[in-house]
Structure 1
Amino acid sequence: MAQKPGIPKGTRDFSPTEVAKRQYITGIIKKHFELFGFMPIETPSFENSETLMGKYGEEGDRLIFKILNSGDYLAKANEEYLSERNSLKLTSQISEKALRYDLTVPFARYVVQYQNDIEFPFKRYQIQPVWRADRPQKGRFREFYQCDADVVGSNSLWQEVELVQLYDAVFTELGFVGATIKINNRKVLSGIAEVIGAKDKLIDFTVALDKLDKIGEEGVKKEMLEKGIAAEAIEKVQPLFNFTGDINEKLEKLSQLLASSEEGMKGVEELRFICDNVAALGLGQSKLDLDVTLARGLNYYTGAIFEVTAPEGVAMGSIGGGGRYDDLTGIFGLKNMSGVGISFGLDRIYLVVDELGLFPETVTESTKVLFLNLGNAEALYALRAIKSLREAGIKAELYPDAAKMGKQFQHADKRGITYAVIAGGEEMAANVYTLKNLETGNQEKIEIETLSNRLL
């Protein structure tokens, strides 16, 4: 007996209904990307390993899917590494490519590769899948789509202001009330590490701090201790765990805390510029909040960092994130090319929209009218009408087989099709069509012009 087929953990098949709903979300995101001046690009699903490795920190590198070289990939492997089962050293010999982990590093590679053909500042958007060897759980998959918008070639903080507006525009149109756009600045985090005497442990400090909402205060303190951050330094961080007040009050507290750090104060001023101007412009249904524990584990962020959480009452992780990266293209040889970008987590956004019941009923509408197949001559007559309806923008189709009428009506019912058209010898002789409303049972004989108007 053949084994029942399946798919890898952390991946999914999507039904027609699910695809329609996903396209509804990406359609809104794409519309606003383009309204804000972003242009689309696409990059390969896999990159050379050296393009990706070392760009996401130690934790990120572990989550990159490596692709085995084609053919006999062990033929040229080092015998010593094989006998020692040294997977870390073997990997570079048997795998030269990897699935992309995100869209930002491939974008940086793209910018450097095509720098002579690009007009800067360059605003691009990308909606493509990425892969991470993560532990699957609700809202976290191994294959998922990202929807990114980035500006590269400008240091202006007005870009950050616009990206907050972009987040708000998308989530407001989706119907989210109270999505929170959290903001912080890596310079602020560097300043905090400096004033507590843990500047040499900046990466460990920020990675641990970023886990506050997942492992709690005690969990963060424990991880910091395990990473070699002194207990005295951790004690100085204590105020951050209960950092309350509105944005202006938080900025004032940070100014006092970071008064001795030049870099930290620069971060505070950048935050003040962004927050003040967002407030002046106003937001729709979203709200902006300063979260000093927001760190985002990716090493390449250097300025403002963003993370978006779902409306209150929805148990979901972040549904978007991003930030400023002043030296990302430098890793590929292009210096002094600042960039800033944000990402929308399509899969998590889908779950939130679904949970809140925000998908319009029209999203899943498919065929509006099914023409019954009563024979070859009748089918040709029906297809002439179907062609006319399609030209008018009406979704119409012919049942492919001349099966019993009951079976064809049953097919329309299971598909949720509202109308059926009967076109037999009697209709052909009178040059009309019988239109039946499958919800009410009413039917009438009408000409093709009337049929089109009735279905619009």
Structure 2
Amino acid sequence: MQRMKPSIPKGTRDFSPVEVARRTYIFDTIKRVFQKFGYQPIETPVMENLSTLTGKYGEEGDQLIFKVLNSGDYLSKVDSNKLENRNSKALTFEISEKALRYDLTVPFARYVVMRQNEIAMPFKRYQVQPVWRADRPQKGRYREFYQCDADVVGSESLLNEAEFICIYDEALSCLGLKDFTIKINNRKILSGIAEIIGKPELIVDMTVAIDKLDKIGYDGVTKELMERGFTSQNIEVLNPFIELKGSNEEKLQVMKQSLATSEIGKKGIEELESIFNYLSSFELKNATIELDITLARGINYYTGAIFEVKSNEVQMGSIGGGGRYDDLTGMFGLKGVTGVGISFGADRIYDVMLDLNLFPESAITSTKVLITNFDSAAEKYALPVLVKLRANGINSELYPSSTKLQKQMKYADSKRIPFVILIGEEEMQSGKLTLKNMTSGEQEKLTIDMIIEKLA
């Protein structure tokens, strides 16, 4: 029998101890900020009922849901004619009742509806869990990846939007980012623009096109708009919005005049002004807030303010985004529960931090001190030392066998262990152990209590 070469499914990844430590550092930092703002963690199952997920992401999204085969002889109850026709789509719901979750939003909506009599509104939750999509793997796109979401439902207050901007600012600043932009727009403003150019029915086509401005430029956007049914006169009216410059206040003033005849457009402007007024009471650390009329972000889903976050220090796509939606739970029969949420792009944040060398050494160090092992006598002497270090909260390990010191030091280097305790005959007689700083090379003779005081 031929031995199989080990592999993992395409679009999935192994993570080394260092990579896991770095990712954990990102997740833990973001979680602390979520908690600081009053958000509570929930978790939902890896699997949902297929009926829960189907029809929530559009036809293309439905095709990307990983289905789970029923247990046992899952073909025994299937109509033989369906089997003969070999139509996998027709068979899916008969042989598969469950699926891997596609995102965290739909499971959250299901959670809220099922527990509506238990949870207090407004309900503020965060969730950091993996999701799965049967997408075509490529650079930066995986079939298994983590989402890092926070949402509040049951509150129409625009204070929530302002606080989400503060959450982005604080979390990314805590991770070491110094220069990033949080772009903001409003779905109602985009509806107002479509209204005044005389094409309200083409709002999706308009926003899909102008959302590509950074990628294809103004000429590319104009060409796409013409292909989607807009006239040169429509584009002439739209052009001042696309090219809108100035401060946030100046942009709002121009839009007030331009959208004076659109009620929904004026409502969107009022909402943005309220968010900016709330933000004036907060002190942001490193974020720049930019009103960007070309920002669209999944226009079919969002109904109010929308956000997108980009680093200005590294060339990278968005590292976060979100917005308000009016009827999250309506898909499960509970109407009128408004909400707003954001998501952090953990994989892209990881890449930005790696490029900028922002991961602290402490984030990737699991063991703080290694005790060397010269012989059986030194090993026996070291065991109570090891116990005492651990009892005082110092991550420690004893090299498990007596071998050359060079090999033990190489082991400490490979694990980025910052300190090594050397215990030889002299140390055992004097009670003063040799503590070596692996970064500076400095060595000190200290008692175990002095070492604990220094390292704790």
TM-score normalised by L of structure 1: 0.89
Q: Which residue of 2 aligns with 1:197?
A: 198
Q: Which residue of 1 aligns with 2:126?
A: 125
Q: Which residue of 2 aligns with 1:347?
A: 347
Identity %: 58
Q: Distance in 2 between matches of 1:265 and 1:420?
A: 66
Q: Distance in 2 between matches of 1:275 and 1:359?
A: 32
CA contact (8 A) 1:78 1:90 kept: no
Q: Which residue of 1 aligns with 2:331?
A: 331
Residue 113 of structure 1 deviates from its aligned partner by 0.7
Which AA in structure 2 matches 1:103?
L
Q: Which residue of 1 aligns with 2:253?
A: 252
Residue 80 of structure 1 deviates from its aligned partner by 5.8
Q: Distance in 1 between matches of 2:196 and 2:76?
A: 53
Q: Say which SS state the counterpart of residue 148 (structure 2) adopts.
A: strand
Structural mapping, 1:167-246, within 5 Å: 167-221=168-222, 223-224=224-225, 233-234=234-235, 236-246=237-247
- Cα distance change, pair 357–336 in 1 and its aligned pair in 2 (3 A): same
- Cα distance change, pair 277–427 in 1 and its aligned pair in 2 (3 A): closer
Which AA in structure 2 matches 1:263?
I
Q: Distance in 1 between matches of 2:300 and 2:314?
A: 29
CA contact (8 A) 1:56 1:298 kept: no
CA deviation profile, 1:165-187 (whole Å, cap 9, x unmatched): 11111122223233111111111
Q: Say which SS state the counterpart of residue 370 (structure 2) adopts.
A: strand
Query: Which shows bigger deviation, 133-142 or 249-258?
Result: 133-142
- Cα distance change, pair 149–96 in 1 and its aligned pair in 2 (3 A): same
Q: Distance in 2 between matches of 1:319 and 1:331?
A: 28
CA deviation profile, 1:33-83 (whole Å, cap 9, x unmatched): 111111111111222223223323444434333333344445555666655
CA contact (8 A) 1:210 1:297 kept: no
Q: Distance in 2 between matches of 1:317 and 1:141?
A: 16
Structural mapping, 1:4-403, within 5 Å: 4-77=5-78, 86-221=87-222, 223-224=224-225, 233-234=234-235, 236-297=237-298, 299-311=300-312, 313-374=313-374, 378-403=378-403
Q: Say which SS state the counterpart of residue 330 (structure 1) adopts.
A: helix
Residue 452 of structure 1 deviates from its aligned partner by 1.8
Q: Distance in 1 between matches of 2:228 and 2:84?
A: 32
Query: Which shows bigger deviation, 348-357 or 189-198?
Result: 189-198
Which AA in structure 2 matches 1:34?
Q
Where do 5+ consecutive residues of structure 2 fail to align? none
CA contact (8 A) 1:123 1:151 kept: yes
CA contact (8 A) 1:323 1:342 kept: yes
- Cα distance change, pair 231–67 in 1 and its aligned pair in 2 (3 A): farther
Q: Say which SS state the counterpart of residue 265 (structure 1) adopts.
A: helix
Residue 163 of structure 1 deviates from its aligned partner by 1.0
CA deviation profile, 1:250-290 (whole Å, cap 9, x unmatched): 22232233333222221111112112332453422101111
Where do 5+ consecutive residues of structure 1 fail to align? none
Q: Distance in 1 between matches of 2:386 and 2:243?
A: 65
Q: Distance in 1 between matches of 2:293 and 2:443?
A: 65
Which AA in structure 1 matches 2:150?
A
Q: Which residue of 1 aligns with 2:414?
A: 414
Residue 382 of structure 1 deviates from its aligned partner by 1.5
Q: Say which SS state the counterpart of residue 127 (structure 2) adopts.
A: strand
CA contact (8 A) 1:56 1:299 kept: no
RMSD between superposed Cα atoms in Å:
2.8
Residue 4 of structure 1 deviates from its aligned partner by 3.0
Q: Distance in 1 between matches of 2:68 and 2:139?
A: 26
Q: Distance in 2 between matches of 1:115 and 1:368?
A: 46
Q: Distance in 2 between matches of 1:187 and 1:409?
A: 63
Q: 1:448 and 2:452 equivalent?
A: no
TM-score normalised by L of structure 2: 0.89
CA contact (8 A) 1:300 1:328 kept: no
Which AA in structure 2 matches 1:340?
V
CA deviation profile, 1:146-169 (whole Å, cap 9, x unmatched): 221111111111111111111111
Query: Which shows bigger deviation, 272-281 or 85-94?
Result: 85-94
Residue 398 of structure 1 deviates from its aligned partner by 1.1
CA contact (8 A) 1:64 1:98 kept: yes
CA contact (8 A) 1:187 1:266 kept: yes
CA contact (8 A) 2:204 2:299 kept: no
- Cα distance change, pair 283–429 in 1 and its aligned pair in 2 (3 A): closer
